[in-house]
Amino acid sequence: IKKAENRKPTATQKANEELKAVILANVTAEGATATEILAKVKAADAKYNVITLPKLTALLTQLKDAKAVERVTDKKKALYKIA
């Protein structure tokens, strides 16, 4: 029996779900780099100024694994767009 199977999400997990919703709202169909998405998220609301690029990239990767976002590599640039 796994110990964590019926536990509720942690405060960090809840905060990350909120951040994912904001990130999804700022991802376009044309595609944008993580840096461009970070700039849009920070411009949208000052409370998101605490997000760093590595954290944003990790959340984008979670969204990619959940099939919400598509990652396209253009030469050496990784673009994220709505799946």
Mean pLDDT for 4-16 is 83
Cβ burial of 60 (10 Å; 0-12, 13-18, 19+) is buried
The candidate with the shortest Cα–Cα distance to 28, out of 17, 39, 18, is: 39
Collapsing DSSP to helix, strand or coil, 31 comes out as coil
d(CA 75, CA 44): 29
Tell me the pLDDT tens digit for each residue of 14-71. 988 988 888 888 888 888 888 998 998 888 888 888 889 999 999 999 999 988 888 8
Output the pTM of the full model.
0.82
